[in-house]
Amino acid sequence: MRRPILAGNWKMNLLRREVERLLDELRAAVAGVADREVLVCPPFPYLAQAAAILEASPIQVGAQDCCWELRGAFTGEVSPAMLKDVGCTRVILGHSERRQLLGETDERIHAKLRCAVKAGLNPILCVGETLEERQADRTWDVIRRQLERGLLGLEAAETAGLVIAYEPVWAIGTGQTATPAQAQHVHRRIRSWLEKRFGPGVSASTRILYGGSVNAGNVDVLMAEPDVDGGLVGGASLRAADFARIVRFEA
Ligand code: PEP
């Protein structure tokens, strides 16, 4: 059984008081939810604050990125060891906004993933094709490359906390969600790839999240797909009522 994960990627949004309010509302709105994991990923400056507010809550705190080294002369970077130290359990890596806007390569993402694992932080590796790649029938080629390079050299024993997020770039922040069938098709292929690469145990236990305009109105049909194990949610995770409904999906 794979426990669903509902993760909110806040991106570069909210200020301190808004963080406090959203987390207070969210904590109340998801109280009693025990059969699924809930994660919020605020911007770096608010991670420690979020961890403190959520200390007695089952809601986990994650980061949106991390450095590829544990310490040293990397001005402006944040070590996964620091993230762990302030209370994070997970880190999003390879988000398409970082790939596209900041030029992150598969090789850099791989280095970050290795470093996160070394620090004891569970990575959420994002993969996904652009609209152009989908239209050129290259969806699987792109995702396979991102998986192969992102997880290069990883041993099955190191995948215990690994989560994959399938996020078609054309669906992120656009309101144009992938259909449940489109999501399921790619998730199934990712799971088969995991089986070939790591074996049936890892394939059966690894959570694969869908991300791309998930909202309170479409979460149920997406979560009804057998290989969709949760959601990585951007915009809708900034509104407590919407995110709580997503967390309380009915499939
Ligand atoms: C995301 O940023 O990971 C995302 C899926 O955003 P949105 O839900 O707003 O499309």
The pLDDT tens digits for 192-214 are 999 999 999 999 999 999 999 99
Does residue 69 have an active-site annotation?
A: no
Does residue 95 have an active-site annotation?
A: yes
Query: What is the Rg, in whole angstroms, of the alpha carbon atoms belonging to the chain?
Result: 17
Beta carbon of 213 within 6 Å of any ligand 1 atom: yes
Q: Please tell me the predicted confidence (pLDDT) of residue 1.
A: 83
Among 126, 163, 167, residue to substitute to test ligand 1 (most atoms within 8 Å of Cβ):
167
Give the CATH number for residue 123: 3.20.20.70
CA dihedral in degrees (57, 246, 242, 178; nearest 10)? 140
Q: Please tell me the predicted confidence (pLDDT) of residue 113.
A: 98
Token digits for 31? 């109280």
Of the candidates 139, 137, 146, the residue with the CA atom closest to the CA atom of residue 164: 146
Minimum CA distance residue for ligand 1 atom 4: 234
Beta carbon of 237 within 6 Å of any ligand 1 atom: no
Residue pointed to by tokens 């911007």: 43
Cite the beta strand spans of 187-228 per DSSP E: 207-211
pLDDT in tens, the chain (251 residues): 899 999 999 999 999 999 999 999 999 999 999 999 999 999 999 999 999 999 999 999 999 999 999 999 999 999 999 999 999 999 999 999 999 999 999 999 999 999 999 999 999 999 999 999 999 999 999 999 999 999 999 999 999 999 999 999 999 999 999 999 999 999 999 999 999 999 999 999 999 999 999 999 999 999 999 999 999 999 999 999 999 999 999 99
Q: How many domains is the chain partitioned into structurally?
A: 1
**What predicted TM-score, i.e. pTM, was given to this entire model?**
0.98
Which residues span the domain enclosing 222? 5-247
The pLDDT tens digits for 18-41 are 999 999 999 999 999 999 999 999
